[in-house]
Amino acid sequence: MRSAEEDAAEWKWKYDIAVRETKAALEKVAASSFEKDFQEMQEMLQQLKLEKEKTEVLLKEKDEMLKAKDDEIEMKGKEHEKMKSEFQKLEIERLAEIERAQRHVEMVYSDWDLLPPKTIKDPEAKKPEIWDDKEYIPDPEDKKPEDWDDEEDETALR
């Protein structure tokens, strides 16, 4: 028969073997899991690098487009300002021409006796009672010539 110490030593020996095997299995699983996670992370890192490069290219293109649009807007603004100043210059020139023409007309009217002098209406002035407003006054002694043709007169009026 074996003693209790021998049994305890045997159980201790079996326990140590089981612990070593379990520890090795856990380390193996952990190592394979670590390698798998490491590979996945490397793949993700690679994808992120590619996406970053694509994003940088797109950003560069967008920046170039925005710069071109800014330049175009600035150019259009300068053209607008130039056209505005030219328009104002032309407007001033035209106004000056109009003022010169008005001064010339005023000078002609004031220096030359083309028009009768201006008169002020008298509010108390009235027409005489015998005033005739008719444009034409019939002449009682008026006669048509002897060779007068009434038909010709009607066609001439048409």
Measured CA to CA, the distance from residue 23 to residue 18 in angstroms comes to 8
| Residue type for position 153 | D
Looking at the domain assignment, is residue 134 inside a domain?
no
Count up the domains in the chain and report the number.
1
**Domain span at residue 31?**
4-116
Looking at the domain assignment, is residue 148 inside a domain?
no
Looking at the domain assignment, is residue 30 inside a domain?
yes
Lookup result for tokens 């038909």:
151
Calculate the alpha carbon distances from 65 to 53, 68, 92, 130 in Å: 18, 5, 40, 91
Query: 3-class DSSP state for residue 63?
Result: helix
Query: 3-class DSSP state for residue 121?
Result: coil
Residues 114/108, Cβ–Cβ less than 8 Å: yes
Measured CA to CA, the distance from residue 44 to residue 57 in angstroms comes to 20
Q: What is the pTM of this model?
A: 0.37
Measured CA to CA, the distance from residue 142 to residue 139 in angstroms comes to 5
Looking at the domain assignment, is residue 122 inside a domain?
no
Query: Tens digits of per-residue pLDDT, 119-140?
Result: 888 888 888 888 887 888 778 8
User: 95 pLDDT band (50/70/90 cuts)?
Assistant: very high
Lookup result for tokens 């060779």:
147
Of 1-5, 42-46, 154-158, the least confident: 154-158
Measured CA to CA, the distance from residue 11 to residue 20 in angstroms comes to 14
Query: Tens digits of per-residue pLDDT, 32-56?
Result: 777 788 888 999 999 999 999 999 9
Looking at the domain assignment, is residue 150 inside a domain?
no
Q: How many CA atoms lie within 13 A of 89 on its CB side?
A: 6
Say how many residues make up the chain. Answer: 158
Radius of gyration of the chain (CA): 59
